[in-house]
Structure 1
Amino acid sequence: MFKILLIEDDETLFHEVKDRLTQWAYDVYGIQDFSKVIQEFTMIKPDLVVIDIQLPKFDGFHWCRMIRSRSNVPILFLSSRDHPTDMVMSMQLGADDFIQKPFHFDVLIAKLQATLRRVYNYNTEPVSLKTWCGATVDYEKNVVANEAGSIELTKNEIYILKLLIEQKNKIVSREELIKSLWDDERFVSDNTLTVNLNRLRKKLDELDLGRFIETKVGQGYMATEEAHAYD
């Protein structure tokens, strides 16, 4: 049974979501003290976190940053705010998805199931190392390393990189990436993929590798071993 930590201060919504998730055999936990979110997160050790943006004490962005500094646990944001910068900010902080309130429960469960399936099924695969552009890519540890150093990627980032590397020198369409990454493109915005790609390349730039992920305007992306300028 997967453990879900639902960081939501609206008690009515919390109990409604908890009841529905419990029907799907998830073990759902809430926060008792919103000034001690990290302590409770550490104690619960959830498999996935669902977090609202507007919370007492500190907002969801703060707690996402704190959680991501110590864990790669998948994080889904909930928000009643409709400003696009909220979604962009959540993705930049390392969240896996963003759900706008009010939401249909089927959308929440679909995104939650897709995230758990992607993260934990993927983690059960044998250790797999890949050499790319002189760097070692460890798909299990989510680490890319070369003589310049090493970087740790989120689950989304390593999955995107894996998809591109496994089809090296071939264009992978945005539609294929979205469908492979989120299982059902109906629940994913095109901007979500753009944010994830940009964040991945920014991290790869630390190892001088970002330039090996090319943007093919109107087509998709391609991993190469011959660098060109990218947008």
Structure 2
Amino acid sequence: MYRVLIIEDDDKIRDLLASYLHKYDFNVSVVEDFRHIKETVQQLSPDLILLDINLPYYDGFYWCRIIRTFSLVPVIFITARVGEMDQVLAIENGGDDYITKPFHMDVVMAKINSVLRRTYGEYSDHQQPRHMIQVQGLCLYVDKHQVEWKGKRVDLTHNETILLQMLLEHYDRIVSREALLSALWDDHTFVDDNTLTVNVTRVRKKLREIGIKEAIQTHRGKGYRFALHPEKRGEGDV
């Protein structure tokens, strides 16, 4: 289930988009505090953002630039601006697509599915690493194989980086053991299941070195979930 964040100050349009996306089993969130959009994106770690241009305080171009400083999440602009220069600015500021109002929901869904396929599905390049992932102040530098928290940084092995990257990209959601095994090893048919447990243990140890405890939660029979919310801890380390 993909998580979509809608950044739109028109209640009718926002509710229309949210209602339609819910019908197709998307996990939908909406921004209500337009002063702290950056914090909302970092907290929710969405798979896709629908972004208006005309917003209170700062426009969508500004927020897309800010989002691009810490995330490569795909962004689709949905706006009443129809000028060619607006479309150029949207792309130059990091947008992935552009939809003008009024719009037909079938067109919106087609563009959403197209972007998701390019980013996560059959047309994506799974071998190209993201340079940096930031979730609630925790920074994973993929290329450098390092993770940083509150000024403390620790080195990771290649597999530890891939493992933590998978968990952060699916923040606060369970990642199955099968998915993690597939990401870590091309052919995991003959990989001992205990090997994954060992790698998870090593990542937990590295996180403890920089002050993060119990963030990787074990969900028996399902997989693992990474979350920094204290109230969501409690499944225990294994």
What TM-score comes out, normalization by structure 1 length?
Answer: 0.54
Q: Any idea what SS the aligned residue of 1:5 has? A: strand
Q: CA shift at 1:124, angstroms?
A: 7.2
CA contact (8 A) 2:118 2:124 kept: no
Q: Which residue type is aligned with residue 9 of structure 1?
A: D
Q: Which residue type is aligned with residue 12 of structure 1?
A: K
Match of 2:37 in 1: 37
Q: Any idea what SS the aligned residue of 1:29 has? A: strand
CA contact (8 A) 2:117 2:123 kept: no
Using a 3 Å threshold, how does the CA distance of structure 1 residues 43 and 123 change in structure 2: closer, same or farther?
Answer: farther
CA contact (8 A) 2:77 2:97 kept: yes
1:3 matches 2:6: no
Using a 3 Å threshold, how does the CA distance of structure 1 residues 126 and 54 change in structure 2: closer, same or farther?
Answer: closer
Match of 1:96 in 2: 96
Using a 3 Å threshold, how does the CA distance of structure 1 residues 107 and 123 change in structure 2: closer, same or farther?
Answer: closer
| Larger radius of gyration between Structure 1 and Structure 2 | 2
Q: How many residues align?
A: 133
Match of 1:66 in 2: 66
Match of 1:81 in 2: 81
Match of 1:16 in 2: 16
Distance 2:30 2:131 in 1: 29
Using a 3 Å threshold, how does the CA distance of structure 1 residues 92 and 6 change in structure 2: closer, same or farther?
Answer: same
Q: Any idea what SS the aligned residue of 2:5 has? A: strand
Q: Percent identity?
A: 36
Using a 3 Å threshold, how does the CA distance of structure 1 residues 142 and 101 change in structure 2: closer, same or farther?
Answer: same
Distance 1:51 1:11 in 2: 14
Q: Structure 1 regions of 5+ residues with no counterpart?
A: 128-138, 144-149, 151-231
Q: Which residue type is aligned with residue 9 of structure 2?
A: D
Q: CA shift at 1:119, angstroms?
A: 0.4
Q: CA shift at 1:88, angstroms?
A: 0.3
Q: Write the mapping of 1:16-165 to structure 2, written as runs, cut at 5 A.
A: 16-121=16-121, 127=127, 139-141=128-130
Distance 1:120 1:93 in 2: 21
Q: Structure 2 regions of 5+ residues with no counterpart?
A: 133-142, 144-238
Distance 2:29 2:47 in 1: 11
Using a 3 Å threshold, how does the CA distance of structure 1 residues 108 and 123 change in structure 2: closer, same or farther?
Answer: closer
1:90-118 CA-partner distances (Å, limit 9, x unpaired): 11111110001101100000000010011
CA contact (8 A) 2:6 2:31 kept: yes
Q: Which residue type is aligned with residue 7 of structure 1?
A: I
Distance 1:40 1:99 in 2: 23
Q: Which residue type is aligned with residue 75 of structure 2?
A: I
Q: Which residue type is aligned with residue 102 of structure 2?
A: P
Q: Which residue type is aligned with residue 38 of structure 1?
A: K
Q: Which residue type is aligned with residue 32 of structure 1?
A: E
- State the 4+ residue runs in structure 1 displaced beyond 6 angstroms: none
Distance 1:14 1:95 in 2: 19
What TM-score comes out, normalization by structure 2 length?
Answer: 0.53
Match of 1:160 in 2: none
CA contact (8 A) 1:123 1:140 kept: no
Distance 1:125 1:63 in 2: 26
Distance 1:105 1:123 in 2: 23
